[in-house]
Structure 1
Amino acid sequence: MNPSVAQAAAPAAEPVARRPSLVGRTRPGLGEALAEIGVPEKERRMRVGQLWNWIYHYGVRDFQEMTTIGKGLRAQLAERFSLDLPEVTAEQVSSDGTRKWLLRMPPAGPRDRGAEIECVYIPEVDRGTLCVSSQVGCTLTCTFCHTGTQRLVRNLTTEEIVAQLMVARERLGDFPNRTPPEGAFVPGDGGRFVSNIVFMGMGEPLYNFDGVRDAIAVISDDQGLSLGRRRITVSTSGVVPQIGPLGDEMGTMLAISLHAVRDDLRNELVPLNRKYPIKDLLEACRTYPGLSNAKRITFEYVMLKGVNDSDAEARELVRLLKGIPAKINLIPFNPWPGTRYECSDWERIERFSEIVFKAGYASPVRTPRGRDILAACGQLKSETEKLSARARLMLEQGEAETAAAAH
């Protein structure tokens, strides 16, 4: 028989089933995993604590390193689960030291090629800040934001949000007693590991409330990743009904993407304002749980030349925020291909800042970081969006075929 015919006639190999990763799971999630492999209920709490410590404190990538767990259970875990992290498909390094990672998440199904998102690490003298994403794409279409030009694909899971911090710590050599992977950047001057997290990447965090809430619970647990909630900031464009629950259930710092002092202009810059106007947004801020001078709200204000940067608008901003413990972050606009906006002149930004400062508000001008790799505020957008679009089309086609077969 012709070998090529024999090869063609052979049945297609079954795809290898991917073992689900335990990285990113909550404590209840780890308990469910243990239940799957038959660990008795009375034993699970102890085993969850062991797994938690090994995964989140030590960052292990092999069940065999978990020496406080018996060999038999380690073998069971390894047979059913993995400790995989998302794949780093690209790493860009800015001239200022900012790093942007393009991460590919494991496929969610047979027709899913895996979601791709970006997260950014910003090293500073006194801290290292990780900007994480909460969605693939974004639904808000803010006109000055590059991410807003990429349509929403889906929410990230709790595991996928936590995994961004895990990748960063792995790439920075920030787990105890672990050798960093080849090519990793290990800060050598102290104090530059990930110390702060901001939910300011791709997506609107409060439209993925449950996923973000559960991820924060994992990130802030003092037996594992141990980042205090005062070091975690959730930034929203103004999803008013979820602001109070954010304070009650997560207790993090709050940032508001304000960018305008009039509803007509904010309707254009941040279309969500048509649903939740400035008055309603600021009322939600005034009643934010735990609000105090020690826990101020950060109002983000992108400086757009000739659009929102006049002296009158600076004074109106001060009037609107009266009585709210606040800090105002002035953000020089970060350009991106195709935008119609320009950054305000530096003298204009300084004048705006001076008016706000003299009214008693801290008004730092955020130094643009990572502009040259499109990693600065408002610039994030997956460089493989076309690939993601193809994957989404395949998924939609698969769903249509399944629906047709059901009928």
Structure 2
Amino acid sequence: MEKSDLKSLTEQRIEAEFVRMGQPKFRARQVYRWLHQKQVSTFAEMTDLPTPLRGQLDEKFYINTIRIKKRLVSSIDGTVKYLYELRDGNCVEAVRMQYKHGASLCISTQVGCRMGCRFCASTLAGWVRNLTASEMLDEVYTAQQDLRGRISNVVLMGIGEPLDNFDNVMAFLEILSSREGINLSLRHVSLSTCGLVDGIRALAEKKLQLTLSVSLHAPNDSIRSQSMPVNQRYNMDDLLDACRDYFEQTGRRISFEYALIAGVNDAPAHAEELASRLSGMGAHVNLIPVNPVAETGYRRGKRAGIEAFQAQLERLGVNATIRRELGTDIAAACGQLRRQDTETA
């Protein structure tokens, strides 16, 4: 019999499994705490369970674990990049960044990505599979063990498109924020999407208190379609309509990511058009100097030009910041380390 992934189940689903096994409901909570508070890797460690039950669980389920295959530490700012190896040998990345308010971890949600955004290294090798809820949780748990401290913020902005792995991501968020787990408030979680409109609308119905970030990266359909194939499925009018509806349903302001690419989307006219598109939304724009990836041919402009773009947006009534760059000496951009590891394997 093939074993099931117990750590990916929400507390409610574990409880249902235990009822089917003829076990009392309180046992489910005990097991859930062992998995997510004490983060054990074997059933033998669950010492307050009867020995026969531990054996029964071991026959039916497995406890997922991952390992750190590579760990790079920036000599500039202390940012840590992890290359995690999964049970099946696939690898994903996470990046731990230290701020005054605590440690933030950017995690992956898929092995590879099928969105095809031209400026991103994550998509160059294509999509392999979705991550399970337990694998995403283990990215956080493993980083905390390495840190020997608590991760205070989680960002779903690593390899993969979170809304393309909707059900697993929703299970991950429920377990992550559970009082019987590590109890991380969703107000300390950000989810980034390239603009899957159906996923944004489905997420809005959940009314979660997370921060939604939308990768816009262009002021119009013509430019956006050149670098983001998703725009051919959901154009900017459809996307921004969904964003307005999301704000109305949740009351949570949306952040728009905008990677500045020299000679493509960084002219004063582009800033003016972008401000016009976002007018009245109370939007925040996070400007990102594009990461140099050899295969794309994209390059970043000079710092003065980036600051001028920001200033123009501010003059036009759009709040804009320039993302602080961390880990530039350790291939901290999404997908770079996994790609290097694949190429040298």
Instruction: Identify whether the pair has TM-score above 0.5, normalized to the shorter chain.
Output: yes
Pairing 1:21-32 to 2, within 5 Å after superposition: 22-31=6-15
Please say if residues 202 and 380 of structure 1, whose CA atoms lie closer than 8 Å, have aligned partners that are also in contact: no
- Give the secondary structure class of the aligned counterpart of 1:195: strand
Q: In terms of Rg, which structure is larger?
A: 1
Pairing 1:215-254 to 2, within 5 Å after superposition: 215-249=172-206, 251=208, 252-254=210-212
Task: Give the letter for the 2:81 counterpart.
Answer: K
Q: CA deviation at 1:284?
A: 0.4
Task: Give the letter for the 1:23 counterpart.
Answer: K
Q: Does 1:201 align with 2:119?
A: no
Pairing 1:180-191 to 2, within 5 Å after superposition: none
Taking the aligned partners of 2:7 and 2:147, their CA distance within structure 1 comes to 18
TM-score, L = length of structure 1: 0.77
Q: Does 1:130 align with 2:114?
A: no
Q: CA deviation at 1:147?
A: 1.1
- Give the secondary structure class of the aligned counterpart of 1:339: coil
Task: Give the letter for the 1:120 counterpart.
Answer: V
Q: CA deviation at 1:241?
A: 1.4
**Any stretches of 5+ residues in structure 2 without a counterpart?**
none
- CA 1:380 to 1:323, structure 2 compared with 1: closer, same or farther past 3 Å? farther
Q: Which among 82, 85, 89 is matched to residue 69 of structure 2?
A: 89
- Give the secondary structure class of the aligned counterpart of 2:151: coil
Higher strand share: 2
Task: Give the letter for the 1:305 counterpart.
Answer: A
Q: Which residue of 2 aligns with 1:269?
A: 227
Taking the aligned partners of 2:28 and 2:145, their CA distance within structure 1 comes to 22
- CA 1:229 to 1:131, structure 2 compared with 1: closer, same or farther past 3 Å? same
Q: Which residue of 2 aligns with 1:284?
A: 242
Please say if residues 247 and 254 of structure 2, whose CA atoms lie closer than 8 Å, have aligned partners that are also in contact: no
Q: CA deviation at 1:76?
A: 4.0
In terms of mean alpha carbon deviation, does 160-169 or 81-90 score higher? 81-90
What's the CA shift string for 1:252-291, capped at 9, x where partnerless? 3211100100111100111111111111110000000556
Taking the aligned partners of 1:66 and 1:229, their CA distance within structure 2 comes to 28
Taking the aligned partners of 1:241 and 1:367, their CA distance within structure 2 comes to 31
Please say if residues 108 and 158 of structure 2, whose CA atoms lie closer than 8 Å, have aligned partners that are also in contact: yes
Q: Which residue of 1 aligns with 2:268?
A: 311
In terms of mean alpha carbon deviation, does 221-230 or 375-384 score higher? 375-384
Q: Which residue of 1 aligns with 2:328?
A: 371
Task: Give the letter for the 2:128 counterpart.
Answer: V
In terms of mean alpha carbon deviation, does 272-281 or 123-132 score higher? 123-132
Please say if residues 335 and 379 of structure 1, whose CA atoms lie closer than 8 Å, have aligned partners that are also in contact: no
Q: Which residue of 1 aligns with 2:53?
A: 73
**Any stretches of 5+ residues in structure 1 without a counterpart?**
1-16, 108-113, 175-192, 389-407
Task: Give the letter for the 1:69 counterpart.
Answer: L
Q: Which residue of 1 aligns with 2:316?
A: 359
The total of aligned residue pairs comes to 343
Task: Give the letter for the 1:222 counterpart.
Answer: R
- CA 1:262 to 1:290, structure 2 compared with 1: closer, same or farther past 3 Å? closer
Please say if residues 144 and 378 of structure 1, whose CA atoms lie closer than 8 Å, have aligned partners that are also in contact: no
Taking the aligned partners of 1:124 and 1:160, their CA distance within structure 2 comes to 25
Identity of aligned residues (%): 36
Taking the aligned partners of 1:290 and 1:302, their CA distance within structure 2 comes to 26
Q: Which residue of 1 aligns with 2:35?
A: 55
Please say if residues 202 and 381 of structure 1, whose CA atoms lie closer than 8 Å, have aligned partners that are also in contact: no
Q: CA deviation at 1:59?
A: 2.2
- CA 1:341 to 1:159, structure 2 compared with 1: closer, same or farther past 3 Å? same
Q: Which residue of 2 aligns with 1:102?
A: 83
Q: Which residue of 2 aligns with 1:328?
A: 285
Taking the aligned partners of 1:164 and 1:101, their CA distance within structure 2 comes to 9
RMSD over aligned CA atoms reads 2.5
Taking the aligned partners of 1:378 and 1:355, their CA distance within structure 2 comes to 32
Taking the aligned partners of 1:250 and 1:105, their CA distance within structure 2 comes to 31
Taking the aligned partners of 1:344 and 1:51, their CA distance within structure 2 comes to 53
TM-score, L = length of structure 2: 0.90
- Give the secondary structure class of the aligned counterpart of 1:159: helix
